[in-house]
Structure formats: structure tokens, C-alpha cells
């Protein structure tokens, strides 16, 4: 029970990486706030936790909306009294659109979810953590946050920004009990990239065959890394970006 007594707020919890984190964290003793725009999916995640004798609530929230974030934090504190772990997992992919194929509307939407959403929610939760002199923030970046070519111009730019945000958060608040790290997944089988995986002729599938792992990843493999970062096992790790990508980055470098 590595997270016993902790309260974890997890965005994108209706499916994919967020759901996998919520289920695993609950199994390890954390109380879960499952957050998503898809309330039906978030509730299904919370119900699955409750059915296994865990403790969870589902809250619908939009990370692009300031008031929605305020309401989310207020409801979370009203129910559990604290937030000790924040997993900024919600994200949006841009289907590898190059700069000349990317409208300003798409650019703005991807950045608003992938980095501005992290800014809004972390800023809202941070005072609660500082008051308790304890908080763990886990930001979901991507292999595309460390190299070029892992996504389109908007996605890649947003994920690079997540890396910088994570490192600066430690520089500013690490001495106040806040520990922030990031995970950089490779191609993981989630609804966001299912179309790429299903297309056996896509360029990314050719790349996967060259990986040391020889396959795409599963959400639980990301959740295991998140559990490590959320627990005291990683208590001396600050500002790290951990690739969980089957060897993709090591192969390209």
C-alpha cells in the first residue's frame, strides 16, 4: 500500500493512461478524484475502484476553463480535505500535422489543453499542497517532448513546454515540499492513438518494429512508472523526465 493516506487527483481518468493510473493508485491505497470531460467514463473508473473496495469520486471538469478548475478543486477539498498527488494526464494529439497544415485554431486548442491546462490546474492545487508542506505533481509529457518528429508542430511544442514547466516548478517550490516529475511515453495503446496502431502500414508501425521492445506499450506500463514517482520510492527524484517508450529515444539518439 505505497499510497495509503494519499489523495490523488487524476485528469483524463475516463480512459487510457489516466484510467490506468487511477486504478493502480487506488489499489495502492490512495483515494482517487477521477477527472474528465467525459463524465460517464470518469464515473465508470470511480465505480470500478469502489467495486474493488477502493475510495473514489468522479468529477466532470474542463482544464481549459478557469471556473471549471476552481469548482473542481473546491469539490475535491470538500470531499477529501486535501490533494496530495496531482497527475496532469489529460492531453490532445494533433495527428502529426506539420506547420503549414496546422491552423491557428488547432494550434491554440492543443496548447490550451496540453500545457495551459496543466498551468491552470497546478496553480489551483499548489496552494493546498504548500499549506501541507507536501505535494507530488506528475506531468504527462511525451517522447515528442524530448525530440522532433514524435508528433505534429502543436503537439511537439506543447510537450516540450511540459518538460520546462516541470523543471521550473521544482526550482520555484521544491523547498516548500513540492516534488514534480514527468513521464515521456512512447506509443501507448490508448484511444488517442488507436488509429495509428490499427493502421499496420503507418510509418510509426515501421518504427516500432525497430525498437528494442519490439512492440507498442500498454497503459499499465505508464501507470507503474507514475506509481513509482508518486510514492516515497522516488523521494529524492526532482524534475526528472522518465521515458517509458520501449527504447525509442535510446534508439534514435
Task: Give the catalytic positions in this structure.
Answer: 155
Report DSSP state, residue 148.
S
Rounded to 5°, angle at Cα 1 from 77 and 174: 55
Chain CA centroid to CA 141, Å: 7
User: What is Dmax (Cα atoms) for the chain?
Assistant: 52
As a whole number of angstroms, the distance between CA 190 and CA 206 comes to 19
Determine contact, residues 17/188, Cβ cutoff 8 Å.
yes
Place of cell 465508470: 44
C-alpha cell at 42: 470518469
Burial environment of residue 8 by CB neighbours within 10 A (0 to 12, 13 to 18, 19 or more): buried
CA 183 vs CA 4, 63, 137, 142: distances in Å: 22, 19, 11, 7
Amino acid at each position: 500500500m505505497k499510497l495509503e493516506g494519499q489523495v490523488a487527483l487524476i485528469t483524463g481518468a475516463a480512459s487510457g493512461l489516466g484510467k490506468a493510473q487511477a486504478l493502480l493508485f487506488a489499489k495502492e491505497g490512495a483515494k482517487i478524484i477521477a477527472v474528465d470531460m467525459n463524465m460517464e467514463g470518469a464515473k465508470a473508473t470511480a465505480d470500478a475502484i469502489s467495486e474493488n473496495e477502493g475510495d473514489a469520486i468522479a468529477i466532470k471538469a474542463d482544464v481549459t476553463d478557469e471556473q471549471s478548475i476552481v469548482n473542481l478543486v473546491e469539490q475535491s477539498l470538500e470531499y477529501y480535505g486535501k490533494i496530495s498527488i496531482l497527475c496532469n494526464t489529460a492531453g490532445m494529439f494533433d495527428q502529426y500535422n506539420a506547420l503549414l497544415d496546422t491552423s491557428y485554431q488547432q494550434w491554440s486548442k492543443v496548447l490550451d489543453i496540453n500545457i495551459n491546462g496543466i498551468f491552470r490546474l497546478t496553480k489551483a492545487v499548489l496552494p493546498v499542497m504548500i499549506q501541507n508542506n507536501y505535494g507530488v505533481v506528475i506531468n504527462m509529457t511525451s517522447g515528442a517532448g524530448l525530440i522532433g518528429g514524435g508528433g505534429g508542430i502543436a503537439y511537439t511544442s506543447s510537450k516540450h513546454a511540459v518538460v520546462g514547466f516541470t523543471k521550473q516548478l521544482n526550482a520555484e517550490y521544491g523547498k516548500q515540499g513540492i516534488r514534480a516529475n514527468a513521464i515521456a511515453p512512447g506509443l501507448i495503446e490508448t484511444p488517442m492513438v488507436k488509429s495509428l496502431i490499427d493502421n499496420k502500414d503507418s510509418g510509426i508501425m515501421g518504427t516500432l518494429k525497430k525498437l528494442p521492445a519490439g512492440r507498442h506499450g500498454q497503459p499499465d506500463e505508464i501507470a507503474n512508472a507514475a506509481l513509482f514517482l508518486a510514492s516515497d520510492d522516488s523521494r529524492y527524484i526532482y524534475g526528472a523526465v522518465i521515458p517509458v517508450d520501449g527504447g525509442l529515444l535510446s534508439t534514435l539518439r
